[in-house]
Structure 1
Amino acid sequence: MDHSSHSSSSSGDEARTMGRHHGSRPRLPKRLELDLSAAISLDQKAQLQKLASSIIDRMQSQLCETFDNLGLGSVPPGRGINPPRATCNAIPNPCSDKYRHMYGDVGLSKETDLGDGVGDGAGDGEGAEKPTDKADVPAGLEAPSPKWKIPKSPDEARDMYGKTDVDVLISSLSELKHDAVAHFGKWRASILRRIQDIVIKNGGTSGNVSGRVLQQTSGNVNRPGNAVRGRLPTPSGPSASATDSAVVLARLHTPIPTPLQDTPKEKRALILHSMMLILLGMDHYSLYSRIFLVKLASSLNIPTWVLHQDEVRVSGALSKIIENIPPAEIVQKRTEEAKSSSRRWKPGTAPGAVATALAPSLAAAGVGTVFGGLGLDESATAGLLGPMAENIPTIGILFGLYGARQSTRTMESYAKDIQDFGFVPLHGPPQRELNDPKDLPTECRRMRVTIGIGGLVMNHDSFADPWQVLGQRTEAYTLKWELEALTRMAVALDTLLGTSTWNMAKREITSKTVFERLKQALWPAGLVKISKVIENPWCVGMVRAEKAGAALADILMSKVFGERPVNLVGYSLGARVIYSCLMALAEKRAFGLVENVAMMGAPCPSEVRVWASMRSVVAGRLINAYSNNDYILSFLYRNSTWQYGIAGLQSIQGVPNVENLDTSDIVTSHLRYTWLVGCILKKVGWEDVEYAQVSQQEQALVQRINQERRFEEEHNRRANAEAGGDRFGRRRRDA
């Protein structure tokens, strides 16, 4: 099978991911009062706590829905490939009291004794009971022994259980569901305890909020419109992409009715901002916390771009606290991490957990206030942030400078198996490849990380071009991997599409759907003859993508990017990297790392259990962009396990909360994904997209299409001329 199995055995990575610690138990952060008297009243505090509890309950129900509402994933004929049915291979012992209730009266007979089947080993296993000695049973009272038949097929075993195909699917993922819900439960308990610490003094503020005078600095604060040399300008105001994504997120996160919706906009904005600070006070910015804030903004009728701006403002202020850390200190901390796991910085264990004042950069940026100074005083703000208010190690943990769990291998060691492996920042000062994202300049850091993974590269210098559409509200990288193999693949594919063989084969190949071609194994003879030109690079790319995905999963579990949400976007073989990464995370039960995922033209299975496993480790959006007209992908994937479906060719059915985008109208060639990354992200309402870069990609695609059209017209003209010449020659010979 093309997808990974989900082993229940515990390993070092799993124990590390699930937070199991050996030895001394980590010290919990001290519970402090969170003073929101300047923001809300006592009644509004109760309303906020009720709203927060409802949001958390909805998050948990959506998590359970992924497993409880699974379907068979059937697609209409001509629109996809239906994978094989789930099989039931477990046969519990019907003679055991532990499992007898599963069988009822099916297969039991009172006239005969055990006999058939049981003596063949079917009664052995967990819960099996030894037969009762007949000498111990009074004469005439012997109970008739049941007789049952060993099932000869998985279908018979399923019938013995009395389960449907959907029941078999759900039960096969029950352990994964248990672990996912348990991981979410830890965060749930932490945030509920944190919210209960909110206090309101002297009745609080029932009306609108008041303000405080912000500190002025000599140009050190990265304010909107004031770009400091070598730094990113802070985005100001809602962009077109922010407005569009806000509409999509409002649809995905249905508002929960609350009286707080009717309060002034200044108060609602301050409530959202205060909750962000409270969540940061937990010493990390968990993706669950981020999704909670998105849902809170929706319920308070606040556009999500307001949350984006808050994230940029807070991250810019926090990064200034660690801006002047001496390189020697970072080296020393990393050395300590490598020597002993007990000496690593961990969230909630940073020294100086009680903050009494804001760091100057936080105060100057107006953290704790909204609308230019309305909100909390510095003391209350420091109480919400806790150690995040001024403690350097705690902030270093957030951004990955300290506290990253040591991976089984260093970043440099991945290059031994994967050539050109590294992360390249897309914004900020021009930089070359970063072997360690910890080396990123502090002023370029954001509260969230986005990684773009390409699958086809026309040349070595253009590998980052498709990802320039990623905006500046996230810390954007592109994964540089196997440039030589990806370039060979793209050049070979481009060469094939420019041959007369492909133009002749295209007319024949489009006479049937991609799924009919796969099922009937009918491909144009001319295309098969030259298939080695693209098949060899494709096979190499698929193998390397598996390795790159495993390496990326190891990096995410090692918290190289700190305690922040990570978003993944990939197309073609880059989507295969994401598939391999998510399956590895699911197998190791590494939850709480990946927020949103977008996969385009993914050469991976569309089977229900595969996508349910990936959905379990993606807390936010999971998007599949596909095209029914991508004959190149179907041709390349024909020697793989296409019987389990192909995600890049069909929609994902049967798995709740998976978004599908049909791009059949714009993707008629697998190579076009290179110029359609921005267009697809724009269509799905991705949160941070540069529309200007999207326009440039669209113009490049138009030029590409015009070039292909001119070549096709020229080829048809030559073919018609040759055909006309042949007819004229035959006429002369006949005459």
Structure 2
Amino acid sequence: MPSSDDQSLASLLTAEQRRDLATLIATTTVQMRTSITRGFESQNLTAGQKTTQSLESSGQDVPKEQPAVSENASSSDHSNLSSTEFYKLQSAALAFFDTWRDKVIHRVKEVLESESQSSKSKDPAHAQEVANAAAEEGPPSIPSEKAATDALLAVYPPISTPLSHLSYGERLTILNAILLLLLSLESYTAHSRTLLLRLSSSLHIPAARLTQMEKDIAVGLLTAASQMDASSSTSAAQQANATARKWKVGLASVAGAALIGITGGLAAPLVAAGVGGLMGGLGLGATAAAGYLGALAGSGVLVGSLFGAYGGRMTGKMMDEYAREVEDFAFLPLNDEQHNHAHLVEQARHKLEALNKEAEKQKEKEKRRLRVTIGISGWLTTKSEVLTPWHVLGDGGEPFALRWELEALLALGHAIQGAVESYAWSYIKVELLKRTVLAGLMAATWPLHFLKFSKVLDNPFSIAKSRADKAGAILADALIHKAQGERPVSLVGYSLGARVIYSCLKTLAERKAFGLIDSVVVMGAPMPSDVGDWKMIRSVVMGRLVNVYSEKDYILGFLYRTSSIQFGVAGLQAVEGAQGVENVDVSESVTGHLRYRYMVGQLLREVGWADLDDTAIAAEEHALRKVKEEEQKIEDEAKKKGEGQDGGKRDEQQAEEDVQRLEERLAAKMKLGDEAESDGKGETAQQGPA
């Protein structure tokens, strides 16, 4: 029987099973490549044409004269890529994928063949130990985990493989070994993450279990790296040799001897620090784990590069440079304190400097993860809303909130909230419910008395929308320059936060930056639903791309009414004709644009997001109930006030009075900043109706 240090895939799998594993990985990568190719397939109808067609089929009024949309139509919203440019984008995406796939196949083949040629063979006793190490798990009982597992199977249907009949513990060990092999490529790309999710589906392993593996390995790697406190000369030598050593990790055998030769003996601290122990709990020995990790196992420099210098690049001086381009551009970590505020970040930094630096460094490293998730708010009524909606994000991926253009978002948030709290809005909402938003947009039949609100809504929306586009381009640049390290990034945003994501993905596509983005969810997005745009942004998203929309989002419809309606509005309708784009209609639950801020966790759970904090979601649901109660009070008062009125001129007069009051209120708020909202009234305002 092999010693605990020698436990590996060779002692777990027979030669035939190792061939099955190689076949499964090859088949999975073929499917991944096919999905990329399908993302560029031509469609017969544009989203705008499908929008018009759907209105006609439903019997709704459509304007007789629609703007002509040519293939070369210019718009700030439209991707405007020629067929030649699309071909170049497709070729670049496939070339990147093929390079990544070749490295993966080579690395896996190298290890499996070296094990087949070794004297080791599957040991029945050891295989039984592994099988007993992790009892067969039943279906997830936590709502978010169950939804994530269901989504995993739906998005990535399992591939039939004999390996699925192995014990749960054996399947976990296989997945864990592949994760280590992927990390040995010295980067954890979005492609690698998607491969693991697809393998999890085929091996019938819940998404939450893969997330836990990632967390364990991140902690193990960083704990090991902290032990690698070599002399300055040794560190310098590591840095000088890092480039030459890249992609040569295949020289590391499972026995670990070659690995120690490559890293100058630095593998020993890693093994001693406990990575091997973590892996051993899932059937892999310390030596095998180190061998699978390759050069990464023995180099603090490479580990630091993987995590973006232990996470410091996302919050350090690098971000200060970007803040010069867009006001308040910063990544705020969400795993420090669950109820911290954006304006306390600077104070926290000063406080941290007074603490024990070594202890603080270790604490910071424990928060690092193999993935990064960034939440982006789209309007604000208080500065704390930069962070608050994103506390629902779990810690399987390292969670951040993006702070950008606070003043512009506060101006927009106050304007929207003031409009929907007005008596005029509550009264005419009944009239709007008689039609779909899209029909109202296309036919330009907004109630005249509501059009008066354009005085206070259009300008802040236009300013914030323009700055969202700029912030998105800067976000893309930060990711291209590896602010996050060599880790994949997932993006979630609502309202203009979704617009930031749209701009970011377009920029990444234009710069042909692949492998950076894992999954994306946009909610209530003020962005076009044109198929060309979505094919373009889909090319840089390797995982899921989800469009959450509501046909009852009247505020978004009103704000977007002067934009390029012929290309459709993603936040109001499904995106048609774009392969690999998931559409989720939440019209029944999201009855207004302000709802998204209070429903981020619930909606992410509905789409099957794999990493959520259910406790935070419960708190979110409690806040939403208060919002609904406040909304009902305002609507009841508006209804009572409207009884006996003759409508028409009275409605216009009421709207004019509301607009005047709103203008005065906004002027006062923007003059005083956020000071008035620190008292109880501020909390009430933030929970206004949607």
Q: TM-score, normalised by structure 2?
A: 0.77
Decide which moves more: 563-572 or 277-286: 277-286
1:368/1:211 CA distance change after superposition, 3 Å: farther
Q: What's the CA shift string for 1:686-727, capped at 9, x where partnerless? A: 010112211221221121112111111112112215669x9x
The residue that corresponds to 1:190 in the other structure is: 103
Cα shift at 1:495: 0.9
Using the alignment, how far apart are the partners of 2:264 and 2:156 within structure 1?
34
1:77 has 2:54 as partner: yes
Look up the SS of the partner of 2:345 in the other structure. Answer: coil
Q: Distance in 1 between matches of 2:231 and 2:562?
A: 53
**Partner AA of 2:511 in structure 1:** K
CA distance in 2, matches of 1:657, 1:77: 21
SS of match in other structure, 1:493:
helix
Matches within 5 A, 1:295-306: 295-306=198-209
- Supply the AA of the counterpart residue of 1:314: I
The answer to whether structure 1 residue 414 and structure 2 residue 387 are counterparts is: no
Contact (CA 8 Å) 1:277, 1:384: kept in 2 or not?
yes
Q: CA deviation at 1:281?
A: 1.1
Task: Report SS of the residue matched to 1:596.
Answer: strand
Q: Residues of 2 paired with 1:291 and 1:682: CA distance?
A: 19
Q: How much does 1:347 deviate?
A: 5.0
- SS of 1:173's partner is helix
Structure 1 residue 364, shift from structure 2 partner: 5.6
Secondary structure of 1:38 counterpart: helix
2-side partners of 1:460 and 1:328: how far apart?
45
Residues in 1 aligned to 2:459 and 2:496: alpha-carbon distance in whole angstroms? 14
1:180 to 90, 93, 96: 93
TM-superposed deviation, 1:174: 1.6
SS at match of 1:322: helix
The corresponding residue for 1:530 is 453
Aligned to 2:626: 703
Q: Distance in 2 between matches of 1:486 and 1:525?
A: 27
- 2:333 matches 1:425: yes
1:279 matched residue in structure 2: 182
1:568 matches 2:491: yes
Offset of residue 462 of structure 1: 2.9
Any idea what SS the aligned residue of 2:624 has?
A: helix
Q: Who is 1:551 aligned against?
A: 474
The farther-off stretch of 627-636 and 610-619 is 627-636
Counterpart residue number, 2:592: 669
Q: What is the match of residue 382 of structure 1? A: 290
Q: Which residue in 2 is equivalent to 1:60?
A: 33
**Residue number in structure 2 paired with 1:589:** 512
Q: Which residues of 2 match residues 300-319 of structure 1 at below 5 A?
A: 300-319=203-222
Please list the CA deviations of residues 544-589 of structure 1 after superposition, one character each: whole Å capped at 9, or x if unmatched: 1011101100000001111111000000000000000000000000
Distance 1:695 1:405, change over 3 A: closer
SS at match of 2:35: helix
Equivalent position to 1:269, from 156, 162, 172:
172
1:67 counterpart SS class:
coil
For 1:539 and 1:328, locate their aligned partners in 2 and report how far apart those are by CA, in whole Å: 55
Query: Corresponding residue for 1:51?
Result: 24
Confirm or deny that 1:392 pairs with 2:300.
yes
Q: Which moved more, 1:378-387 or 1:679-688?
A: 378-387
What is the RMSD of the two structures over their aligned residues, measured on CA atoms? 3.7
Q: CA separation in 1, counterparts of 2:72 and 2:403?
A: 42
Correspondence 1:317-466 to 2 at 5 A = 317-323=220-226, 347-348=246-247, 353-354=262-263, 358=267, 360=269, 365=274, 367=276, 373=281, 375-401=283-309, 410-428=318-336, 432=345, 441-466=364-389
Question: Which of 655, 658, 682 is matched with 2:581 structurally?
Answer: 658
Compute the TM-score of the two structures, normalised by the length of structure 1.
Answer: 0.72
- Tell me how far 1:543 sits from its aligned partner: 1.1
SS in 1 for 2:507: helix
Distance apart, 1:524 and its partner CA: 1.8
Q: CA deviation at 1:212?
A: 9.6
Q: What is aligned with 1:112?
A: none
Asked if the contact 1:322/1:442 (under 8 Å) is kept, the reply is no
Secondary structure in structure 1 of the residue aligned to 2:599 = helix
Alignment partner for residue 417 of structure 2, among 494, 512, 532?
Answer: 494
In structure 2, the residue matched to 1:251 is 154
Shift of residue 85 of structure 1? 5.9
The alpha-carbon deviation at position 84 of structure 1 amounts to 6.5
CA distance in 2, matches of 1:328, 1:644: 60
Matched residue, 1:157:
none
Contact 2:223-2:273 at 8 Å conserved across structures: no
Instruction: Letter of the 2:37 partner, please give it.
Output: C
**Secondary structure at 1:77 match in 2:** helix
1:38 equivalenced with 2:11 (yes/no): yes
1:26-73 per-position Cα deviation (integer Å, ceiling 9, x unaligned)? xxxxxxx99632221211111111111111111111111111254524
TM-superposition CA deviations, 1:344-396 (whole Å, max 9, x none): 899548997458675556556454766x6352332222111111212101101
Partner of 2:71: 87
Q: Which structure is larger by alpha-carbon Rg, 1 or 2?
A: 1
What amino acid maps onto 1:77 in structure 2?
A: S
1:505 Cα deviation after fit: 3.1
Residue 343 and residue 46 in structure 1: after superposition, are their counterparts in 2 closer, same or farther (change >3 A)? closer
Say if 1:680 and 1:384 are closer, same or farther in 2 by CA, change over 3 A. Answer: same
| CA–CA separation in structure 1 for the residues paired with 2:14 and 2:556 | 59
Q: 1:202: which partner in 2?
A: 119
Question: How far is the alpha carbon of 1:513 from its aligned partner?
Answer: 2.3
Percent identical among aligned pairs is 37
The SS at the match of 1:37 is helix
The residue correspondences of 1:283-294 to structure 2 (distance < 5 A) are: 283-294=186-197
What 5-or-longer segments of structure 2 have no aligned partner? 1-5, 74-80, 131-139, 250-258, 350-359, 650-690
Amino acid at match of 2:641: R
Q: Distance in 2 between matches of 1:269 and 1:300?
A: 8
Q: Would the aligned equivalents of 2:552 and 2:591 in 1 still touch at CA under 8 Å?
A: yes
Q: Which amino acid aligns with 1:175?
A: K
Q: Residues of 2 paired with 1:566 and 1:319: CA distance? A: 19
- Over residues 404-426 of structure 1, what are the superposed CA-to-partner deviations in whole Å (9 max), with x where a residue is unaligned? 999xx942132233211101111
Instruction: Say whether the 8 Å CA contact 1:209–1:266 is kept in structure 2.
Output: no
Q: Distance in 1 between matches of 2:563 and 2:634?
A: 32
Q: Secondary structure at the match of 2:491?
A: strand
Query: Closer, same or farther in 2 for the Cα pair 1:250/1:687, shift >3 Å?
Result: same
1:652-689: CA deviations, max 9, x gaps?
Answer: 11011100010111122111111011111010000101
Aligned residues: 582
CA distance in 1, matches of 2:230, 2:598: 40
Q: In structure 2, do the counterparts of structure 1 residues 42 and 325 end up closer, same or farther at CA, with 3 Å as the change threshold?
A: closer
- Contact between 1:356 and 1:382, CA under 8 Å: does it hold in 2? no
Is the partner of 1:653 in helix, strand or coil?
A: coil
The answer to whether the Cα contact below 8 Å between 1:35 and 1:384 also exists between their aligned partners in 2 is no
Residues 615-630 of structure 1: pairs in structure 2 closer than 5 A: 615-630=538-553
Q: Secondary structure at the match of 1:254?
A: coil
